[in-house]
Amino acid sequence: MAVEPSPLKTSPPPPDTLPDLDRDLGSPSKSYWWVWLLIFALIGYGCYALYKFETAKKAAMNSMRGNLGKQHAVPVVAEAAHMGNMPVYLEGLGTVTAFNTVTVKPRIDGQLISVNFKEGQFVKQGDVLAEIDPRPYQVALAQAEGSLAQAKGTLAKDQAALKDAQVNAVRDQELFKESIIAKQQLDTQVATVGQAQGQIEADKASIEAAQAAIDTAKLNLTYTKITAPLSGRIGLRQVDSGNMVHSADTNGIAVITQLQPISVLFSIPEDQLPQVLEKLRAGAKMPVTAYDRAGRTKLAEGTLLTVDNQIDQTTGTSRLKAVFPNNDMALFPNQFVNVRLALDVRKNVLIVPADAIQRGPTGTFVYVVRSDNTVAVRSVKVGLTEGDSVSIDDGLQAGDRVVTDGAEKLNEGMKVSLRPATPGGTHHRSDAAAVSAQ
């Protein structure tokens, strides 16, 4: 049979070992009550600070929403459209060429004894540039003068012989009439007169030849001094002093280019040529302006001189030649320039700055500032463009204020505030207005 285990028996602890519950539990509540008070105070202050932060954040968000809901005026620069004259230009790329170019060569042979110019010097027509040894040509002149003197002496001798022969011929004619001499003797004397006359003609020819030799020697003597055939700038020296030079030399001594005036060759499309020819046939003086490579800086002003006599079939262009005074030496041979040929002036057209023109999917438009300082989108038809100015064929009227700066921030009906233009930022009157004033 199963035996059930008997329960364990525990004996109670002795009385002196029981814990003093009153002493262990009651003393902390009496000694650390201020710690709990501090904790509850910090929690309360944190809740208050969080409440203030959320309140300020909500107020800021409400203020931002209110500001966003309000419409602020956008600062812009505007300018009124005005009536004026718009010049019509033809543009092309040109090359500056010397109006005249001369290779200075000796006209006689000889030794170069002096070079009287500096490379790059501006010379005037007639200035002595170099000198060839003149002594051989001085000797030739003396010989020619001697030959002339001899020919004149021979002429005087033959003239005296002719006179004697003529006197004898007259005497023989009288004697022949009296039948004192024979006819043969008279004929011989007459022939002698003819021979003397022929000798005199030969003497005269010798004198002319001697005179021509003198003139040639004098001319060659002047050629020993090589002078500038025109005024201009002389290039680099090709021959040094002491060398023998010849009239057949290909290089010459130096090259002179005429810079005042100077010419510019440029091309225009063949479709524009009839308008230019019509102006030239009417005798119009067509102004031409040369600009630098970038097309911004004006270098010189001149006039159209002529048009080439044929059209280049490979490019479909025609070459034109303009002449410039070039008083300030702004143009230099072989310099590339942008050329603008003034073809016509359209008068009384509506002009606005080019900065006012905007382009979109529907075409060109401008922002017009209305009387209540709101903007309206206005489609326009653009005509000519000249520098910083554009002519408007349709869409605007004189006096309409168009936005020239700040248009990228605008939409239809937005409020704007006008501000002055910054220097160099917005253009008031460009070349077109300047022509109009003239």
Q: Assess whether pLDDT exceeds 60 at residue 29.
A: no
Pick the CATH number of 84-96+259-437 from 2.30.40.10, 2.40.30.170, 1.10.10.10, 1.10.287.610: 2.40.30.170
Compute the average pLDDT of residues 385-402.
Answer: 87
Q: What is the DSSP string of 341-358?
A: EEEEEEEEEEEEEGGG-E
The pLDDT score that the predictor gives to residue 187 is: 85
Q: Where are the beta strands (DSSP E) in 68-219?
A: 74-80, 82-98, 101-104, 110-115, 122-123, 128-132
The C-alpha atoms of residue 325 and residue 297 are separated, in whole angstroms, by: 18
Note the Cα 17 to chain centre separation in Å: 118
Please classify residue 304 by burial: count the beta carbons closer than 10 Å to its beta carbon, then call 0-12 exposed, 13-18 middle and 19+ buried: buried
* Fold match, 84-96+259-437 / 134-218: no
Cis peptide before 261 (omega within 30 of 0): yes
Q: What is the pLDDT of residues 94-115, one digit of tens each?
A: 999 998 999 999 999 999 999 9
**Mean pLDDT to the nearest integer, 411-419:** 87
Question: In which band, very low, low, confident or very high, does the pLDDT at 65 lie, cut at 50, 70 and 90?
Answer: low
Contact 347, 83 (CB under 8 A): no
Give 325-350 pLDDT, tens digit per residue: 999 999 999 999 999 998 888 888 89
d(CA 100, CA 230): 9
| CA 201 from centre of chain | 68
Per-residue confidence (pLDDT) for residue 59, from 0 to 100: 75
pLDDT digits (tens, 9 = 90+) for 34-50: 777 788 788 888 888 88
Instruction: Summarize the chain as % helix, strand, coil (round to 5).
Output: 35, 35, 30
Answer whether residue 433 shows pLDDT above 70: no
What phi, psi does 60 have (nearest 5°)? -65, -40
Question: 290: exposed, middle or buried (C-beta count within 10 Å: 0-12, 13-18, 19+)?
Answer: buried
Q: What percent of the chain has pLDDT over 90?
A: 45
pLDDT score recorded for residue 434: 37
Average pLDDT value for residue range 408-422: 84
Query: How far are the Cα atoms of 139, 156, 211, 302, 391 from residue 214, in angstroms, in the given order?
Result: 11, 20, 5, 48, 74
pLDDT score, position 186:
83
pLDDT tens sequence across 121-149: 999 999 999 999 999 999 999 999 999 99
Write down the CATH number for the domain with range 134-218.
Answer: 1.10.287
Q: Which residue bears the tokens 């253009």?
A: 427
pLDDT at 32 (0 to 100): 66
Write down the pLDDT at residue 423: 64
Highest mean pLDDT (candidates 9-13, 136-140, 166-170, 429-433): 136-140
DSSP symbol at 72: P
Residue 427 has pLDDT above 70, yes or no: no
Give strand pairing partners of 93: 338
182 three-state secondary structure: coil
- Torsion angle, alpha carbons of 395, 401, 404, 406, to 10: -110
Residue 300 has pLDDT above 90, yes or no: yes
Q: Tell me the CA distances in angstroms from 390 to 299, 357, 361, 383, one per residue in order.
A: 24, 8, 20, 7
Using CA atoms, how far apart are residues 306 and 308, in angstroms rounded to an integer?
A: 7
pLDDT for 7 equals: 45
d(CA 227, CA 231): 11
Q: Cα–Cα–Cα angle for 242, 243, 247, nearest 5°?
A: 130
**Confidence at residue 193, expressed as pLDDT on a 0 to 100 scale:** 87
Is the model's pTM score more than 0.75? no
Sequence spans of domains, the chain: 84-96+259-437, 134-218
Decide: residue 63, CB within 10 A, 0-12 exposed, 13-18 middle, 19+ buried. exposed
Asked if the model's pLDDT at residue 421 lies above 90, the reply is: no
Range among 120-129, 384-393, 425-434 with highest mean pLDDT value: 120-129
pLDDT averaged over every residue in the chain: 84
So what's the pLDDT on residue 179?
82
Q: Is the pLDDT of residue 302 over 60?
A: yes
Residue 380: name the closest of 360, 406, 410 by CA: 360
Tokens of 398: 């004189």
Q: How far apart are CA 306 and CA 265, in angstroms?
A: 10
Q: Residue 435 and residue 289: Cα distance in Å, rounded?
A: 14
**Which residue, chain included where needed, has tokens 């001094």?**
225
| 415 DSSP assignment | B
- Number of CB atoms found within 10 A of residue 428's CB: 13
| β-sheet bridge partners, residue 269 | 317
What are the tens digits of pLDDT across the range 282-295?
Answer: 888 999 999 998 88
Give the residues across from 266 on adjacent strands: 94, 320
Confidence of residue 62 (pLDDT cuts 50, 70, 90): low
pLDDT band at 226 (very low <50, low <70, confident <90, very high): very high
